[in-house]
Structure 1
């Protein structure tokens, strides 16, 4: 597999959002373009991309909130799943956070997404004994 990992640029926005849509990660109440732009505009976040022969095949958004690292939008092109792209991206995300001194990495997975939960468990991620609470501050 000739996969290379690189930081996204503004020019990658539409292709990356298209990948997120193809992977089923977007939701009507979240603006993925705004998420992408904010990640690139902030020094403690980025979007890492996986390319194979200049074709976008994966992405992960990663950021440090000052206390812990977070992962969002881990996506692999549907025709490239099961080939190690997600593992490679998660390793790159972990390395990126380590360079910022992050002591911990966390992510959220929808409770009914058994495939994603199994993927992360295979990478050593464990269910945390916390409850996530939320409140919308803007109308959807």
Structure 2
């Protein structure tokens, strides 16, 4: 499996993946977030690729010193294989390298099924719809992506 920054040629694979994991309304919102983030910083839009197919994707954004996770999706046939964990770890590393002090995940009707996953990664309830992780120490310099 290869983790890398989004490329324009990934758009069909990523949108197909979001169609499998989100409502039509959520998919349209996700595409808007994707377009805005690609114009700002492509390094925070990540894909997981296996056998020349997109099997996972995540979009990150930064506002001041806070990073935000959006649109984590893993192909149903590949869920439970650590792909979501690897994508979030790589995005956390990239956030850290850009000076982010904490990371927040918005949990709503379309993403509440991911809450246990984020709790497992060390995120805590910050409010009724936000999970947060605050770094008190430096992340490892190298995070394995294989």
TM bin (shorter chain): 0.7 to 0.9
Q: Which residue of 1 aligns with 2:53?
A: 55
Structure 2: tracts of 5 or more residues without a match: 131-146
Which deviates further from its counterpart, 14-23 or 93-102? 14-23
Q: For this pair of structures, how many residues does the alignment match?
A: 130
Identify, as 1 or 2, the structure richer in helix. 2
Say if 1:10 and 1:40, in contact at 8 Å, map to a contact too: no
Mapped pair 1:20 → 2:14: no
Q: Return the match for 2:106 from 105, 108, 111.
A: 108
Q: TM-score, normalised by structure 2?
A: 0.78
Q: TM-score, normalised by structure 1?
A: 0.81
Paired with 1:26 and 1:54, the residues of 2 have a C-alpha distance of 26
Deviant stretches of 4+, over 4 Å:
111-114
Kindly report the root-mean-square deviation, in angstroms, between the aligned alpha carbons of the 2 structures. 2.4
User: Residues 44 and 78 of structure 1: is their aligned pair in 2 closer, same or farther, counting only changes over 3 Å?
Assistant: closer
Structure 1: tracts of 5 or more residues without a match: 133-140
